[in-house]
Amino acid sequence: MSERYPDITRDDAGVVLVNEWNVGTRDRQRAGADAVARLWRAEPLPEHALSLNLYVSDDGTSVLAYKQWTDLDAYREFARTARSAQAGEVAPGITRHEPTAYRLYRHGLGEQGAVPGSIVVVQFETRNETAARTLVDTLFDVYGDEEPGKGAIGSHFHIAVDGSRMLNYAEFVDAASHEALITTETSGSRRLTSVLAEVEGITPLGFRRYTLHTAVAR
C-alpha cells in the first residue's frame, strides 16, 4: 500500500478509470471516502490493477477515484466477473457505477522534484476524439513555452476512450499555489477565453480541487 500521490506517467498504465461522486456535504464525503477505502484495503489489488487512488474535494462536495490499469480489456473482464459482488451503494451518495475510461495523451511538467499536495481536475465535454486532441494541442501551442505558475508541478491531459471527455489532472505543491494562480490575472489567463472559443466541439465543465485520501499501489 502507498499513501503517496500516484505516478501519472507510469509506462505500464494503459488505461485510467475515473469515477466522480457528488455527495453534497463534508460528513457524507468523509463517510463515503472511508467506506471506499475500507473496500479497497480489504482485498489485494486485482491482477491487472496498478494503483487505486481516492480523493476528496476541498469544497466538501465530491469524492473522486482515479484508477490505473494495464489495459481496458483487463479491467472490463474484472468488472464483468466482480460486478455482482460489487453491486449497490457503498455509502450515502457513493453508488458503484461504470467509470469513464481515459488514456493519457500529453503532459507538461513544472517544478521538478516537488511533491504534490493538491490536485485540480479540469474537465471538458468533447464532440469526439479529434476535438479533444485539438483542444489539448491548442493549449500546448499557446502556453507550452510559458513558465508554469509557482507551485505547479505537472499537467496531465487525458482523453476519454470514447472521445467524449478531456480531463486535465493538474498537480500542485499545495492548494494555496493553485489559488494564487487562478486569482492572479496574467496575459495567459486573459487569452484563455479566446483560445477556447477557437476550438470547435468542446464544452467547459469547470474544475474542482482535491486532496488525496487513500492510495493503494503495486
For residue 185, is pLDDT > 80?
Answer: no
Judge contact between 13 and 59, C-beta under 8 A.
no
Check pLDDT > 90 for residue 111.
no
Cell reading at 46: 486485482
Task: Yes or no: say if 76 and 57 are a contact pair by the CB < 8 Å rule.
Answer: no
Q: Which three cell numbers stand for residue 74?
A: 483487463
Residues 100-106, mean pLDDT to the nearest whole number:
99
Q: How confident is the model at residue 188 (pLDDT cuts 50, 70, 90)?
A: low
pLDDT top residue among 182 and 84: 182
Residues 190-202 pLDDT 10s: 778 888 999 999 9
Residue whose grid cell is 480489504: 42
Supply the pLDDT for residue 91. 75
Asked if 149 and 181 count as a contact pair (C-beta separation under 8 A), the reply is yes
Instruction: Decide: 151 and 172 in contact? Cβ < 8 Å.
Output: yes
- Whose CA is closest to 159, among 128, 195, 197? 128
As a whole-number percent, the residues of the chain with pLDDT over 90 amount to: 73
| pLDDT tens readout for residues 5-51 | 999 999 999 999 999 999 999 999 999 999 999 999 998 999 999 99
Q: Which domains does the chain have, with CATH numbers?
A: 15-101+212-217 (3.30.70.100), 104-211 (3.30.70.100)
CA distances from 148 to 111, 170, 181, 201 (A): 8, 11, 9, 27
Angstrom CA distances, 195 to 87, 105, 136, 207, 215, stand at: 43, 20, 11, 17, 36
**Would you state the pLDDT for residue 1?**
41
Question: Which positions ≥6 away from 28 have C-beta within 8 Å?
Answer: 91, 92, 93
Give the count of beta carbons closer than 10 Å to the beta carbon of residue 153: 22
Q: Which residues, in sequence order, are CB contacts of 186 under 8 Å at separation 6+?
A: none
